[in-house]
Amino acid sequence: MEPEKPSFFSTRYIKFLGGRNTFFTFIVILLIGLIIMVYGKVSFIFSPLTIFLGNVVLPVILAVIAFYLLRPILRLIEKIKIPRVWGILIIFLALIGLITLLVFLVVPFLKSQSTRLVEELPVYLIQLLNSLDGFLRTSFVSDYYLQIEQDAMEMLRSVPTEVGKLFQSTIASVATGITSVVGAVTSFVLSIIMVPFILFYLLKDGEKLPRFVIGVFPPRMRDDFQSVFKSIDNQISAYIQGQILVSMCIGFMIFIGFTIIGMDYALLLGVIAMVTSVVPYLGPVIAITPAVIIALVSSDPFMLVKLAIVWTIVQFVEGKFISPQIMGKSLHVHPITIIFVLITSGALFGVPGVVLGIPGYAILKVIVSHLYTIFKKRYNRFEPNLENQYEHTNNKVD
């Protein structure tokens, strides 16, 4: 028997790095980098696809959110032997009636409160700034404050000379800005119009989509992909339904609490809290800001204390009772991780990134965890063989 000829993969250094598999991994990483570099050079070829996806993403996301909210209702309707298409029509009629009711009963009151708040908010801010100015002038930092005020006044004296230049440059971009605003509004209106049609087909054929996608893959991979799809579906469903219910509970509690303490604009502040609470952690901070401004300039000197009490009670009830019961531990994401994901996704994608960062992270986590499990089963020789273990257990029982 001839001795094995030494090769590149049999050297000590390559064996130490992991052998042939590690070498091929480096090649794959290099190829991915080359693909990214080539894409950066010819990205203009994909601009029509980018424009198409940019116009389609918003209605699809809104339709998916509505699908996960309405799917449990559709399943209940199907349980009473009503065909799916008729159930969808019943849901659409109920939604039209609910939206009509909100438009005629709630929206006018919210509109009047919003208009009054927008008109009075500058007055509130001026009162707040005057109070803050009087406090700083008599505080221990008065010397620093007066120096800053003097520097600011000198800066303001130079403003008129710069206004002309700024005005000239602004005029040139007004037309472009108006065109972009009109285009954005038109795109948004078209997206809203598309949502009901996409939602109808999602409710009608949404259950078939995972089976169709799984059928594209080879038979031996279908069980793994089915498990991935099922986990993703559970994660998205739990997050969307739970977050919406939690937000509604927070908005209702804020409205009741502010009404009890006599806070102005209680209903409007409750709606703001409900909408912003869709974003964990950052939403409540945004929601409480206008309430704090109103409380600071209120005629009631204890309004800020009452606001703090109401807000603390709401956050305590939501954190200890509502969220654990509605959402549970479905996402299994640490609060610090949620904060980092929100900051990163917001910096990358703006407001949509803040709203969709957590479910996107949950989906990515499911995919990576399943891929890692498959990798361990394939390459880890110390991974227990579950089938043999099951047979051994059965033999012991027999």
Give the pLDDT score at 390. Answer: 43
Taking the CB of residue 172, how many other CB atoms lie within 10 A of it? 8
Highest mean pLDDT among 59-63, 167-171, 253-257, 389-393: 253-257
The set of residues, in sequence order, having a beta carbon less than 8 Å from that of 354 and lying 6+ positions away, is 279, 282, 342, 345, 346
pLDDT of residue 10: 63
**Structure-token pair, residue 94:** 């109920």
Other C-beta atoms closer than 10 Å to the C-beta of 282 total: 16
d(CA 123, CA 131): 12
pLDDT surpasses 90 at 112: no
- What pLDDT, in 10s, does the model give residues 226-241? 888 888 888 888 888 8
Check residue 62 and give its pLDDT.
Answer: 85
Among 75-84, 245-254, 281-290, where is mean pLDDT lowest? 281-290
User: What's the average model confidence in pLDDT over 315-332?
Assistant: 71
| 147-182 pLDDT, tens digit each | 676 666 666 555 555 545 555 555 545 445 555 556
Distance CA(100)–CA(227), nearest Å, equals 41
Q: How confident is the model at residue 18 (pLDDT cuts 50, 70, 90)?
A: low
Residues 195, 192: Cα–Cα separation, whole Å: 5
19: left (phi over 0), alpha (psi -120 to 50) or beta: left
Residue 50 burial (C-beta neighbours within 10 Å; 0-12, 13-18, 19+) = exposed
Q: What is the DSSP letter of 103?
A: I
Asked if pLDDT for residue 360 goes beyond 60, the answer is: yes
Query: pLDDT at position 132, please?
Result: 72
pLDDT bracket for residue 386 (50, 70, 90):
very low
Q: Which of 22-36, 120-134, 210-224 has the lowest mean pLDDT?
A: 120-134
Calpha distance 395→85 (Å, rounded):
51
Which of 398, 85, 102, 69 minimizes the C-alpha distance to 245? 69
Beta carbons of 358 and 333 less than 8 angstroms apart: yes
Task: Please check the confidence at residue 46 and state whether its pLDDT lies above 80.
Answer: no
| 132/121 Cα distance (integer angstroms) | 16
pLDDT of residue 12: 64
Flag whether the pTM goes above 0.75: no
**pLDDT for the residue 398:** 46
Q: What is the maximum alpha-carbon separation in the chain?
A: 99
Q: What is the mean pLDDT of the chain?
A: 75
For 357-386, what is the mean pLDDT?
73
pLDDT at residue 256, rounded to an integer: 92
Looking at the chain, list the stretches that DSSP marks H as alpha helix, in order from N- to C-terminal side: 12-17, 20-41, 47-79, 84-101, 107-137, 142-157, 159-205, 208-216, 219-261, 266-276, 282-296, 303-317, 323-326, 335-349, 351-379, 386-397
Which pLDDT score is estimated for 350? Answer: 75
For residue 372, give both structure tokens. Answer: 């890692």
Between the alpha carbon of residue 211 and those of residues 70, 215, 221, the distances in Å are 21, 6, 13
Q: Decide if pLDDT at 1 tops 50.
A: no
Question: For the chain, what percent of residues have pLDDT higher than 70?
Answer: 73
